[in-house]
Structure 1
Amino acid sequence: MRRVAIVAPEKVLRESLVRIAEAGCVEVDLAGDGGPDVRGPAATRLQRLRAEPAQPVLSEGRPDLDALEREGRGDLLAGEAQLEERLGSAVRHGTVAALAGWCPETELGRTTALIAGAGGALVPLRTPRGVDPPTLLTGADTGHPAFAATPVRRSFTPLVTTYGTVPYADLDPTMAAGIVYVVMFGLMFGDAGHGLLLVAMALLLRAGRPRRMAALRPLWPFVAGAGLAATMAGVAYGEFFGPTGVLPVLWLEPLQEPMRLLAAAVGLGAVLLAVAYAAGIVNRWREGGPSAALYATTGIAGAALYVGLAVVAGYVWLGQGVYGVVGALIAAVGLALAGAGLYATTAGGPGGAVQTGIQLFDAVVRIGSNVVSFARLAAFGLTHAALGAIVWDGTTALAVRGPVGVATALPVFFVGNALAFSLEALVAGVQALRLEFYELFSRLFEGEGRPFSAWHLPVQHLTESAAGAGPPAAVEAVRQGPAREESS
C-alpha cells in the first residue's frame, strides 16, 4: 500500500476524480476538521428529493443539478454529492489542487496512467511517521474486480474479517486459518455420510440453489472443504451415517478408543499453538521491531514459556529428569522476558510489580487451559459418534421385528440422522470458530488495523446516455451542464 497525492490543475480536478472513482483503486482522504456540516449543491438537492437511497453514479461531464432533481435522478445526485465532498477536501495553491490518499502498489502504475490522460497526476509519497496504512486482504469484499481472489481464498476471508481487521504490518492468515478451521471441524463432525451431504450442499450453493440463499454462493468452497474434511475423518473412524459397517475402521473407532482420540486432539492443539506463537513472533517483529518481538507474551517470551512448559510436561509424561530441568530453565527465561515487557507497560513501583505478577500467572494458566481446550475436538467427535450409534442401534433394533419394524426403522434412521446432522454441524462449526479465535488468533494479533476503502463509483458516459442509459432530459442535462453552470 502506497501513500499518494492526487494533483491536478483546478480546471481538470473533477475529471481526474471521476477517473479515480471509475478505477476504484484509491482511498481518498476526506477533510475531518470537525467543523459544521456544509452541504454542497448536489447534496442539498438530494436531500430535497427525499427519494429512496439509490446506488450512486457519476456523470462523465458536469451535469445540470436542477435538471437531475426534476428528473428524480437520485443516483446521479448521490454521485455528485460524493464528488463534492472530495472536491471540498482538496488543498489548493493557486490554480493547482491536491488530495491525499492510499493506493495498492499493484494498481499504482495503471491508475497513474489513467488520470494522466485527464491532465492530473498520482504522486507517490512517503508513509507518514506513526500512521499505519489501511489493510487490503486479498479476497476481501471490496466490490472491485481488481482485488478479486480465488474462490477458495474469498470463501475463507470472512473467518478473518469476522474477528477483526488484520493490522497492515501483520501476516495475512486467511488460507492457513481456513485450512485449520476445516480440519478441526472435520475431526468433530467425522462421518463420511454427513460429510458427503455437506459436499452436496456446497455444490447446490455453487449452482445458486436455493435462490433465497444465493448470497451465500461465494462460501461454497468453504462448505465443500468442511464436508471433505468430515468425510475423510469419517473414513478414518469407520463412520457412515453412524457405525453402519459400510466402511472399515482405518484409524480408530471413537467410542472404543476415546483416550487415543483425546491424546491426538490435544497433540494437534499443541502443534497449532506452536505455529500460532511462531506467527505471533513474526507479527510483533514487523509491528515494533526486535524488542517488541522479544518481550511480548505473544512473541519470543511467550513462545519460550510455552516451549518450557511443554518440555516440563514431557518430563511428567516420560519421567526423565533432564526434561524437567531443561524445561524449567526455558520457562524461567520466558517468564523473565515476559515480566520485563509487562512491567514496562505499568506505572512502576509495587503496584506495577503486583500487576505484572498477576499477568504472568494468567499467561501460565492460559497456556495450560488453551492446550487442554483442544480436547473438545475429541469430545465433540465422541458426541457425534455416540449420536450416530444411538440412531443406528434404534434402527437395527426395530428392523428385526418384521415388515412393521422395518417400516418404523426407516423414519427413525432418516429423522435421527437429520437431527444429528443439524445439531452436530452447528456445534462443530461454533466450537471450531471458538478455538480459532480464542486459542489461535489471540496469539497472532495484538491490535486491529483499518480496512482499505477505495472510492469506487460507476460512471455514466455520454455515449452510454445517448444509447438510452437515462431519461432524455437527464441526458440533455449532462450535455448542457457546463454552459448552464457558466451562465449561472
Structure 2
Amino acid sequence: MSPMRMERVALVAPLESRREMLTEVARSAAVELDLPYEPGTGPEEIDRAADAAVVHGSVAALVGWSPTQKLSSLQEALEPHGASAVPLKRPRGVQPPTLLTGDEPARKQTPVLSRLLVDTYTTVPYADLDPARIAGVAYVVMFGMMFGDAGQGALLVVAGLLLRFLPRLQRFRRTWLFITGAGVAAVFFGFLYGEFFGPTGVLPVLWLDPLEEPIPLLVAALVLGAVLLAGSYVLGTINRVREGGWGYALYARSGLAGALLFAAIGLVAWGLLAAEPVILVVAAVVALLALVLMFIGLFAESGGGATGGLQASVELVDSVVQLGSNLVSFTRLAAFGLTHAALMMVVWQATTALWAPDWRAVAAVVVFIIGNALTFALEGLVAGIQALRLEYYELFSRIFQDEGRRFRPWNPDTGTSTPETGTGTGTGTGTGTPSLSPAERHLP
C-alpha cells in the first residue's frame, strides 16, 4: 500500500559525456529531472537538458528523483559513459513525487476503476498509504447493498466476464474485475434479500425482505458505515504518523483524537444497548479526552490567541456534528436498497397483473423486461454515484489531508528503439521548475 520509495539523486558525468548520460536516462524513464523549463518530447530535449546542467570544471550534473528499486540498473547503464546517479540527502520541506505500484507497466491488470477511485480524489502523498484496493472492495460492497438483486447482479458478472475475454472489448479489459466484483456483491445481497429480478419467489429470503423489515436493514447500514469509518480512521491515523509523527497524529481530527471520539460514540451505543452505566462513564471520559486533544490541535493550527481559541471552538463543534452526520449518511445504503426493492415490486406486480394464458402474456413479458431494464439502468447509476459519494466525503476525507504530486519520468524521444518504450518515443514529462537545495547547486 505504500508508494515506491524515492531517492534524491545527482546525475553526474564528465562534461563531454553529458549527452550520452542523458540519453541513457531518457531510455530508462527512471528519473524525474528538475529542469528550469517545461520539458519537451523531441530529440532536441537531450541538448536542452544538457545545456541546463550545472557545470563545475570538467563535470556536469543535474538533480532529480528516482525510484530506489530502479537506481542500481540506472547506475549500471551510466557506468560505461563515466557517469553515475549519486543518492543525495533529501532536502527539507520538499515532498518526493509519488509512484504507485499500479502505475508500473508490469501492473497493467490493476483494476483501473479501483485506481481511479483514489486518483480522481487526490494524488496520494508520498508519505501516505495508498488505499486503492481497499477502496475498491468497500465500493463494491456498498454498491451491492443498494443494488441487491441476484438476477441483475448476474448480468453485471456476465458483462464483466465479456470484458475480460472478448477481444473486441480489449480496450475496456482493465475494468472487468471491478464490474464483476460489483456484480458478485449484488448477487450476494440479492440472495440475502430473496430478490431475483424482483420478488419473483425464485429465491427464498435468507436474511430479510427490505420492504418487510426496513428497520433491521437501516441498522445494518449503520453498522457497515461504522466499520468503514473505523477503517478510515485507522488509515488516517497511520497516514498522520507517517506525515508528521505521533505528535501530529495525536491531535489531528483525522488521527488519534478523531478516532477516540468515534470510539466514544461506539461505547455510548454499546452502553445504551447493554444498559451498563459503567460503559457510559468510560465513553464520557474517552470523549472528553478526545475533545481536549482535538481542541489543542485546532488551537495550534489557528495560531493561538483569543481569535484562535474562538476559531478552534467553532471547528470543534463542527467536527462533532460532522462525525454524526457522516455516520448517519450511511443510512442511504438502506434507503436506496429499499428503493430498488420497491421499484422491482412495482414491476413484478404489473407483470403478474397482466399475466394470462393468452396474448396478455406477451404484454406481461414486455413489461417485465422493460421494467427490469429501466430499474437496472436507473438504480445502477444511482447506486454507483451514492457509493462514490460515501467513499469521497465520509472515508477519503479522513484518510487524506494533503495532496501529493505524481512521478513524471523524463523520457523524451532519443531517436532509437528501446526495451522500455519499444519505439523510442517517451512522454517528455518532468517538473517545470527546479527545486535544488543549496548543497546541490554547488556539486563538485
Q: Which of the residues 398, 403, 406 maps onto 2:354?
A: 398
Unaligned runs of 5+ in 2: 1-5, 425-444
Say if 1:155 and 1:220, in contact at 8 Å, map to a contact too.
no
In 2, Cα distance between equivalents of 1:270 and 1:391: 34
The answer on 1:437 being equivalent to 2:386 is no
For 1:17, the equivalent position in structure 2 comes to: 22
Q: Which of the residues 101, 121, 124 maps onto 1:166?
A: 124
Q: SS state of the match for residue 117, structure 1? A: helix
The answer on 1:455 being equivalent to 2:410 is yes
Q: Which of the residues 77, 91, 94 maps onto 2:54?
A: 91
Deviation at 1:334, TM superposition (A): 0.2
The normalised TM-score by structure 2 is: 0.89
For 1:122, the equivalent position in structure 2 comes to: 85
In 2, Cα distance between equivalents of 1:234 and 1:458: 53
In 2, Cα distance between equivalents of 1:243 and 1:457: 59
Could you list the structure 1 runs, at least 4 aligned residues long, displaced by more than 6 angstroms after superposition.
none
Q: Which of the residues 174, 177, 180 maps onto 2:135?
A: 177
In 2, Cα distance between equivalents of 1:118 and 1:196: 59
1:404 aligned partner, one-letter code: W
1:329 aligned partner, one-letter code: V
1:177 aligned partner, one-letter code: A
**Structure 2 CA distance for partners of 1:150 and 1:252, relative to 1, 3 Å:** farther
Unaligned runs of 5+ in 1: 38-42, 44-55, 57-77, 470-488
Q: Deviations over 1:385-432 (max 9, x none)?
A: 1111111111111113x3221110111111111100101111111111
Say if 2:43 and 2:414, in contact at 8 Å, map to a contact too.
no
In 1, Cα distance between equivalents of 2:148 and 2:295: 42
In 1, Cα distance between equivalents of 2:127 and 2:19: 34
Q: Which of the residues 3, 7, 10 maps onto 1:5?
A: 10
Deviation at 1:15, TM superposition (A): 1.7
Q: SS state of the match for residue 231, structure 2? A: helix
Q: SS state of the match for residue 97, structure 1? A: strand
Q: SS state of the match for residue 217, structure 1? A: helix
For 1:200, the equivalent position in structure 2 comes to: 158
Q: Which of the residues 251, 257, 271 maps onto 2:207?
A: 251
Figure out how many residues of one structure are paired with residues of the other and give that number: 416
Say if 2:153 and 2:186, in contact at 8 Å, map to a contact too.
yes
Q: Which of the residues 25, 43, 60 maps onto 1:80?
A: 43
For 1:481, the equivalent position in structure 2 comes to: none
Q: SS state of the match for residue 97, structure 2? A: coil
Pick 1 or 2: higher relative contact order, CA cutoff 8 A, min separation 6: 2
Q: Which of the residues 316, 335, 357 maps onto 2:313?
A: 357
The answer on 1:156 being equivalent to 2:114 is yes
Say if 1:204 and 1:210, in contact at 8 Å, map to a contact too.
no
In 2, Cα distance between equivalents of 1:218 and 1:432: 20
In 1, Cα distance between equivalents of 2:322 and 2:190: 32
Who wins on radius of gyration, i.e. which is larger?
A: 1
Q: Which of the residues 193, 214, 225 maps onto 2:181?
A: 225
Q: Which of the residues 246, 271, 282 maps onto 2:238?
A: 282
Percent identical across equivalent pairs?
Answer: 51
For 2:74, the equivalent position in structure 1 comes to: 111
Aligned runs of 1:314-329 on 2, under 5 Å? 314-329=270-285
Q: Deviations over 1:311-335 (max 9, x none)?
A: 1233334432222211111000000
